[in-house]
Amino acid sequence: MRISLFWSSGTDRNPAPDKVCMKATRRMYHLIYVSQATRPMSEEDLASILKKSRDYNTADGITGLLIYKFTPSENRANFMQLLEGPEEKVLEAFARIEADKRHHTKIVLEQGEISDRNFPEWSMGFRNADASDLAKFEGYSDLGSPEFWTRAEDGELTDALEIMLSFYADEIADD
């Protein structure tokens, strides 16, 4: 299954949080995690997840990107997500994610303060990725494999933000 990039910006799509909120002087926080889906997700499942995420994120002043990768040979699906916004809101969102039974083995790859948002136009961007999308990022082309999870648990994965930024740059270039 392959669906196109869903993203959010402007008034005809689900708008990103109010631009005034994005210009606030308080420091921004980001968190990037990976997880395993309990089962492969249908297009309807993914659309539902995105709608709910975008609704919460718009209300909470959060922006970010969700990557979904299904590996047919293993019948396994995985998520990688970046959330950015006010620290308390990002941590509240991640607490909801941790309680979500649609996925497990949630491992935080990166978190901390950032000076500015990286995804100011996306209440929640989306990419349905495959191995070729991740091939240029060392350690990520096998997202979801047992070897990947070992690296994630051992803290050996770097460049998570670079992956997210590359997908954002691809979409902006396509506009």
Say which residue the tokens 């999870």 belong to: 149
CATH 3.30.70.100 assigned to 19-174: yes
DSSP bridge partners of 107: 34
Q: Which one has a higher pLDDT value, 102 or 84? A: 84
Residue range 3-9: average pLDDT? 40
* Tokens matching residue 42: 């249908």
In this prediction, residue 28 carries a pLDDT of: 92
Model confidence at 53, pLDDT cuts 50, 70, 90, reads very high
d(CA 80, CA 108): 10
Whether pLDDT at 9 is above 70: no
* Tokens matching residue 167: 């997908």
Q: Which one has a higher pLDDT value, 74 or 9? A: 74
In terms of Cβ atoms closer than 10 Å to its own Cβ (0-12, 13-18, 19+), residue 138 is exposed
Model confidence at 111, pLDDT cuts 50, 70, 90, reads very high
pLDDT over 70 for what percent of the chain? 82
Model confidence at 173, pLDDT cuts 50, 70, 90, reads low
Model confidence at 22, pLDDT cuts 50, 70, 90, reads very low
Whether pLDDT at 41 is above 90: yes
Domain parsing of the chain, residue ranges: 19-174
Average pLDDT along the chain: 83
Which residues neighbour 149 within 8 Å (Cβ) at sequence distance 6 or greater? Answer: 36, 105, 107
In this prediction, residue 14 carries a pLDDT of: 42
pLDDT over 90 for what percent of the chain? 58
Residue range 158-166: average pLDDT? 89
In this prediction, residue 154 carries a pLDDT of: 93
Say which residue the tokens 């631009």 belong to: 19
* Tokens matching residue 16: 């990103």
In this prediction, residue 17 carries a pLDDT of: 45
